[in-house]
Amino acid sequence: MVFINPTRYMKYRSLIANKPFFTSSARLLRPFLGAAASLVFAAASAQASVTTLSFQPNPADMGDLDHHLAYTWRIDNVSLTGFSITSATLSITNISNWDTNPNVLHLHLLDTAVNAGIATFVDDPTGSVPLADLTDDFVSTRYHSDPNWLVKSGTGDTFLANPSFTTTGVNYTLNLTPTQLQTLTSYIANGNDIAFGLDPDCHFYNDGIKFTMTLTPVPEMSALLPIVGLIAAVGSTHLLRRRRAAQLALVRWED
Ligand SMILES: [Ca+2]
Ligand SMILES: [Ca+2]
Ligand SMILES: [Ca+2]
Ligand SMILES: [Ca+2]
């Protein structure tokens, strides 16, 4: 006949109920996963130094954005290797309309353009003043089959904005949305270039156009592997110790 000491039995029940090795390994390693996340974040932060890239067309005011023209501004040799774009801004300093008539500045982000730097196309052949036609000629296809049109058929085109201005100068700022940043990234990846399409449908005085991107380094996995290995080693040692302690407790109880 086996006599079971009720006090020792309850102690053992308590022991197995609280030993995490009877639960999943993931639960046991939970503290180490938290530590791993902290270390990875620390490693990424140590590497993180924000880089700002700024671009300006030449001339910087694009000839004060003549209403009889549509413009492309292509930016070449942009590389994002090892970086991701965290923000991007198109800004125009001290922009104003030349008169008080209805007006619009059509703004597009393009994968590329036919010509390097600034190129123009006459989108109002009549030369009318004031301009009555406010058609966005990056959307309308009325000139797209012209041999001198600024963008090849099939080029990625993302509409950005349609601001209007008064005769009082303002500093205009357009911050790209997260979705637009993804598009910008894909446009850059395709040929290391992007372009802006601007169709001023009135004449906009300004003191300069600028495009700015802030870039953050992307931590390379190879740099994090030693840290992940260390976490795994510490976690597995801890796991083995807990198992050994529980086994010893069981042996003592069986004795
Ligand atoms: Ca125009
Ligand atoms: Ca491109
Ligand atoms: Ca137009
Ligand atoms: Ca100017």
Which ligand is nearest to the Cα of residue 152, counting in written order?
A: 2
* 183 Cα: distance to centroid of ligand 1 (angstroms): 25
Q: Is the pTM of this model over 0.75?
A: no
- Nearest-angstrom CA–CA distance, 16 and 2: 21
| Token digits of residue 90 | 């198109």
Which ligand is nearest to the Cα of residue 142, counting in written order?
A: 3
Which ligand is nearest to the Cα of residue 98, counting in written order?
A: 4
Between 68 and 235, the more confident residue is 68
Single out the residue of 104, 173, 185, 107 nearest to residue 139, CA to CA: 107
Enumerate the domain spans of the chain.
6-47+223-254, 51-217
The pLDDT mean for the chain works out to: 81
Single out the residue of 94, 91, 98 nearest to residue 68, CA to CA: 98
| Token digits of residue 83 | 């970086």
* 144 Cα: distance to centroid of ligand 1 (angstroms): 14
Which ligand is nearest to the Cα of residue 96, counting in written order?
A: 4
pLDDT in tens, 137-190: 999 999 999 999 999 999 999 999 999 999 999 999 999 999 999 999 999 999
* Residue 126, pLDDT score: 80
Element at 64 (helix H, strand E) = none
Single out the residue of 118, 197, 192, 186 nearest to residue 162, CA to CA: 197
pLDDT in tens, 41-99: 444 454 558 999 999 999 999 999 999 999 999 999 999 999 999 999 999 999 999 99
75 close to 119: Cβ distance less than 8 angstroms = no
b/e map of 54-65 (b: 16 or more CB within 10 Å)?
ebebeeebbebb
Ion ligand 3 — residues with CB < 5 Å? 123, 135, 137, 199, 201
